[in-house]
Amino acid sequence: MRTTVGIIGAGPAGLLLARLLRGAGIDTVVLEARDRAYVEQRQRAGVLEQGTVDALRAAGAGARMDREGLRHDGIELRFDRRRHRVDFPALTGGRSVMVYAQTEVCKDLIALQLAEGGPLLFGAEALAVEDADTGRPRVRFRHRGREDVLECDYVAGCDGFRGVSRTAVPAGVGQVFERTYPFAWLGILADVPPSHHELVYARHDRGFALLSMRTPSVSRLYLQVPEGTKPEEWSDADIWRELERRFETDDDWTLRRGPVTRKSVTSMRSHVHEPMRYGRLFLAGDAAHIVPPTGAKGLNLAVGDVVTLARALAHEKETGSAALLDAYSATCLRRVWQAERFSHDMTGLLHRAPDATPFEDRLQLARLERLTASRAAETDLAEAYTGFPLD
């Protein structure tokens, strides 16, 4: 099998890249290790930056998002039993975010790819990327019980942190920057309408909490818990009681309870691999970088990567120049590091470290006081949250 761009991974990054390259007249083959049902049910991110929303619309994948997604013009910060709203459009010249689950983005892009795009092979496990430092890279993969080879001009590694793309970069090539955090998120999905119309980020002496949603009738909520926590260690009743404590305010706001349909624990980590390219292998999304989920940047960074890569490949096709491809890693990393900075800052601002001292607690509250009293500080948060430019 042969194509121009072999794409490993049918998450939102790989699927959007295939869609963008189709528009540029560049053929692709997408290899996905899991089956379609798994990809379309895999719970991940749910907040789309303005640039991601614009990219999906431009790719012809925004119709259902615009019908069913929930536009959010702000977030609420809670601390010391007080509430403060950050107004995105007023601070950013009109930008906002969209709550639309990654599962739904994947469903939309899969339907388009199967109807209009190149081959999308589910159950096709990539085994290795070979000869990436030559002009004829290859992807060995297993599909329907037999091994095959995908020959291509370029390989896009969109297969996540544990995929073969990242491990195809030889040891000693490049550098890894990372940090692990001594806490995690216990997340639940609950069949109950959200208790607030926008996301609520709460700093509490007992730990961080986040109120989010997937639809007008499904809530997504998180609690900061110690690293290593197992979901089954928390009963539904204990989760709701702890959420109520951490979201407590001095007004009459109340938390709605409902049946918990799913529990999971997410570790907190920052990770960047530089460069994001090895020969003709281009890393994108979690294969190249991971952010803690506090800033809602993971999916959006992946979209930024593939928009940049698609432009570079289209530029080479049109002009014969590889200048944008050669600049791919540096271009992406400027945005990646800004997102890493923002996600790290938000994590430190709202989470209580296990060994936090009273002095550090007071500093956290002072930072939040400053943020809510300064338009300049609010603007910096709003600009980062709604997204750094994709160009």
Q: Which of 154, 181, 201, 222 is catalytic?
A: 201
User: What number is the average pLDDT over the span 173-185?
Assistant: 95
Please determine, for residue 57, whether its predicted confidence score (pLDDT) is greater than 80: yes
Structure tokens at 21: 């390259």
User: What number is the average pLDDT over the span 133-156?
Assistant: 97
Active site residue 293: yes
- The answer to whether residues 19 and 11 touch, using CB atoms and an 8 Å cutoff, is no
pLDDT in tens, 355-372: 999 999 999 999 999 999
Structure tokens at 142: 């297993």
Active site residue 38: no
Indicate the helix (H) or strand (E) that contains 186.
Answer: strand 175-190
Tell how far CA 15 is from the center of its chain.
14
User: What number is the average pLDDT over the span 96-123?
Assistant: 96
Taking the C-alpha atoms of residue 152 and residue 150, their distance in angstroms, rounded to an integer, is 6
Q: Which of 12, 137, 194, 293 is catalytic?
A: 293
pLDDT value, residue 390: 82
SS (H, E, C) 211-246: EEEEECCEEEEEEEEECCCCHHHCCHHHHHHHHHHH
pTM of the model: 0.95
pLDDT value, residue 99: 96
**Percent of the chain clearing pLDDT 90 (strictly above):** 96
Tell how far CA 241 is from the center of its chain.
29
User: What number is the average pLDDT over the span 192-207?
Assistant: 97
The DSSP output letter for 251 is: S
pLDDT in tens, 318-348: 999 999 999 999 999 999 999 999 999 999 9
The DSSP output letter for 30 is: E
pLDDT in tens, 157-171: 999 999 999 999 998
pLDDT, the chain, mean: 96
Active site residue 297: yes
Taking the C-alpha atoms of residue 45 and residue 235, their distance in angstroms, rounded to an integer, is 24
pLDDT value, residue 388: 84
**In order of start, what are the domains of the chain with their CATH numbers?**
2-72+98-178+269-346 (3.50.50.60), 181-268+353-386 (3.30.9.10)
Look-up: residue for tokens 């950050």?
Answer: 86
pLDDT value, residue 171: 87
Measured between its terminal Cα atoms, the distance across the chain in Å is 34
Active site residue 204: no
Structure tokens at 307: 């928009």
Q: Which of 204, 273, 297, 351 is catalytic?
A: 297
Active site residue 385: yes
pLDDT: is 345 or 46 the higher one?
345
Q: What are the beta bridge partners of residue 86?
A: 75
Cβ-based neighbour number of residue 23 at 10 Å: 14
Please determine, for residue 45, whether its predicted confidence score (pLDDT) is greater than 90: no
Confidence of residue 90 (pLDDT cuts 50, 70, 90): very high
Please determine, for residue 44, whether its predicted confidence score (pLDDT) is greater than 80: no
Question: Residues 6 or more apart from 214 whose CB is under 8 A from it?
Answer: 46, 99, 101, 189, 220
Strand spans (E) along 21-66:
28-32, 47-48
